[in-house]
Structures are given as structure tokens and as C-alpha cells.
A and B are shown apart, each in its own frame.
Chain A
């Protein structure tokens, strides 16, 4: 360091300034990255160590490298893990089935209403996630606007019919809450497509369906990828919908993690479950990226 300083001592002011300029990118990065390392990377490592520890909150935890927590996690909660995969997967599929036509319509047929339609898509974000879910509870309630009407005014539904507390309500809530996350990336991908490509396909005797299947859809795949992981990841870890709209049988892995951490203080098992969830997502995203062949498009 000092040797280098002496070597460039002749044009001294310039040398310092240049060296500072060379360090600029790192100086700009440092504070933000430090925050992420201390409050994202380090906690993740801590959680991993916690999952291999034993003890209790009162007596303190000791790192024993035991895998008991993982055995408990896999042994006791297969039902909740299955629920998470099933409900999260279903919500993602429903969101795709609803979201793709919507994104397609806004991108290609939105015309001068495009911005208004996009605004309507993100409007739910202006309301708290919890309040929206409570709204669904009101809406789907046994005597709520929908069922109350069907039961008493029309009489087409038996009086003891109920939606709240069933898997249907949980999946409906998940589908609703994450739908904008599906529509927006799909819209961005579809909007980018050069309409001349579709015209070219039509000129080459592709009918609408063939042009869609062979040109539009493949070009929209990055959006499909981004949209489905943005929907699937939060849906998989969610516990708000399962708590508010479900019953004890519809609990998801998030409910268990939440309960173990905040109610039972069973940190090792909760940490193991969190880690399993993270690993499952990483594996799922990797396989999915391979299948779609879009891994180079996500970076």
C-alpha cells in the first residue's frame, strides 16, 4: 500500500483521485450490501445452525449438529407440506389460467384503456393484504352477500352449505391475493412482442391458433416463468389465507412455522421447516427453469 503510494507520489493529487474513482463502485455498493449480508445472509446461516441445535428458549440453544429437528419436521408435518404444495400449485395454475387471457387482452387489445386496465390490476395493492383477505371472509361467509343471497333469496343452496373453512376458500384466497403478480410479468412479456412477428406468421399461412402457439406463446415464456414463480413462492409460504379462510385441516407449512416460532418457541424444528421450504423452492425453481429453458432470461 505505502509502496504503491510512493511510486505514484509524483502526480500526487491525480493519483489519489484516480484511486478513489477506481474504488467508487465498491464504495457505492458497500452500505447496502453490508445491510443484506448482516440481515439476510447471516440470519440464514444462523437459522441453518439453529435447525441443527437443541435446547429451549429459556435454557438457551446449543449447536449439537443433531438432525432430530429435520426428522420431526418430515415425520410430523407431511400433511401440511402436502397442503402447501397442493394449494400453492393450484393457485398458481388458476392464476395462470385467469392471468394469461387478461394480460393478453390488455397488451394487444387494451387500446387507450391500457393504462386504466393496468391500474385496475394493481388496485388491490392499495389495500392491505390482510383487509382484502378479511373481505373475502365477509364475502364468502355463511350469511354473507353471496351465500346469504343464494340461500335465502334464491333457495338454490342448502342452509348448512359453507365455503369458509374449506380448501376451496383457501385456494380462492391464494388465487386472488397473488393474481396481480401473475398478470404483470405476463403483460410485460406480451407487450414487448413485435406485432410484425405475428403478422409474418399470418403471412406464412399460420392461422390465429398456430401463430399464437408457435410465435406469441414461446415469446411470452419469460413472463410465464416470472409470473409463476412470483405467484408460487409467496403462495407456498403463506399462512394468512389458511388461517383466516381455512380450518385446522387446511393448515399449510407456514402455519406450522409460525406456530412453532411464535407460540411454541420450538426454534430448531421451525428453523428446519423454514430451511426445507427454502430448499423445496430452490429445487422447484431450478427444475422449472430447465423445463422452460429460460434460465438465461431470469438474470
Chain B
């Protein structure tokens, strides 16, 4: 290598370079395009099959076009109730988890204290634990308060009867960590001089928080809330362990697909997907316009 002439080096370097350029220009975009199709195909299938005039109980095979599903989107026993439960749980658990998580995020980013490392670890752990372990350990807690240290004091299963409350407890639990991480990311670049300026101008801590700090971290809090909402409304595994006989939409779907696959599942899925897309598109357009004005 060391004795190679300048020309030798150039020719040897250029052949891999040519391959490298071909890879960058053709192979990478091609792989990306295929991956995008792979990611989107099940969604396209879901939307197409929401128009399927299927025969029998299972909406698996294409038989012809119909608008029946879209005209009767909730026409299946148990579906409206499970949707109401899902929305209620997602809303309440989002509000609670966002408040608790934002407080933790504030504390961790702006105060120095000894237990910070341990607390960061505690926040990380639920995200690194498989959902099935989170769900099953909560179920163990909820039904077996008769184990130490509560045996003899609390009758078994009476502390947390399975239902809406236990689902809410579980959803808040797994959402807190995600909120903390999202809010912390937003607070990382926070300029504390702005708060000091407000205090110098005579604002007390409360006013400073609501007039300066909160408006600045609001986008992060909002992002955390949206993440929490979508995690909650889609959760199946943990909910399945702690729901008892209460249905959320995913639990209802899981229960029904053993015996039937109604077109309404596709319709509701499509409505959720399309409204999420519309929401993202609208907010992007709005923030894009705001950026241009600025």
C-alpha cells in the first residue's frame, strides 16, 4: 500500500467509489421505496377492505364494492360501548399522565439533587419492560392483595376490582415515562435567562411559570399528551390483563375476531387513521405558515 504510486491509489479508490455512488443513488432509494410500501400496505388493505361486500362472517376475501360498512360504522353489538370506553380512558389517562410526567420532567431538568440518577433509571425501566410483564404484574397486584404485606388485612381482589379504574391506573403508569422523556427533550434547550429576566422584572415564581416557562414548554407538553393519547387508545396487551369484563376498542376487536371479522373494524380503523392524518396535515400546514410569518 505504502509503495503504491499515486495513480495506483486513484484507480483502486475509484472502483469502490463508483459502486458506492451507484448504491447511494439507486439502491438506497429503491430499498426505501420498498420499505415504505411494506409499511403502508396493511393500511391500504384495511381501507380497501372497509368497502368490501364480504360473504359469511369473515372479511378476508374480496367480493365486491359496497358502502354498507361506511353507512353503518357502529352497527355491531358492543362496538359503540367499547369506543366510548377507549376515548374516555385515553382522555383521562392522558390528562393525568401529562400532568404527573411534566412535573417530573421539570424537576429532573432544572434541579440538581442526589437521587436524579436513580429516578432517571426508574423512569426508563417501564419503557424497557415488555408490555406483557407490566400487564401481568399489575394483574398480580390487583387480584392478589392477599399476598404479603397485605394478607389478612385486605380481602383478596377488593382493593382494585378489575374494570375502568384498573385500566386507567395501568394506562397512566405506562404513559408517565413517555411523557417525562418527551418533556425532558423539549426542556433540554431551555434558556433559563428568560425566567431570570421575568423575575428581575418583578414577577414572582408562580407568574414566571405561567407567563414564561409554560408557554415555552407548551409544544413539548402537547407532543407528550398526543403520544400518551395514541399509546393509550391503541394499547391492547396491558389492557387485556387488567380489564376484567370491560371492553375497550382493541379488547373488543380481540374478542370478536375469533368468531367473525366485521367490516366495521376496518371502517373504524380507517376513520381513526384518516382523522390522525388530517390532524397532522393541518398542524403541519399551520406551523409552516407560522414559521413563514416569523
Chain A interface (Cβ < 8 Å from any Cβ of B): 24-26, 28-29, 31-33, 35-36, 39-44, 46-47, 49-50, 53, 57, 60-61, 63, 98-99, 101-102, 104-106, 109, 115, 117, 119-121, 123-132, 134-139, 141, 143-145, 148, 176, 179-180, 205, 207-209, 212, 229, 233-234, 236-240, 244, 254, 257-258, 261-262, 267, 270-271, 274, 277-278, 281, 285, 299
Contacts and interface: CB of A to CB of B under 8 A. Distances in A.
A127 B269 contact: yes
B24 interface: yes
A126 B28 contact: no
A139 B148 contact: no
A39 to B, nearest CB: 4
Given A43-B138, A63-B148, A130 B253 contact: yes
13 contacts: A24-B111, A60-B146, A63-B147, A115-B284, A117-B36, A120-B36, A126-B230, A127-B43, A205-B13, A208-B16, A212-B20, A239-B132, A239-B237
Contacts of A278: 129-130, 133
Binding site secondary structure of chain A: helix
Contact of A98 (B31, B104, B139, B254): B31
Interface in B191-227: none
Contact of B254 (A127, A130, A212): A130
Given A29-B107, A31-B100, A127-B273, A43 B250 contact: no
B282 interface: no
Given A208-B24, A233-B128, A127 B103 contact: no
Contact of A46 (B13, B21, B62, B147): B147
A112 B54 CA distance: 42
B272 to A, nearest CB: 7
Interface in B12-28: 13, 16-17, 19-21, 23-24, 27-28
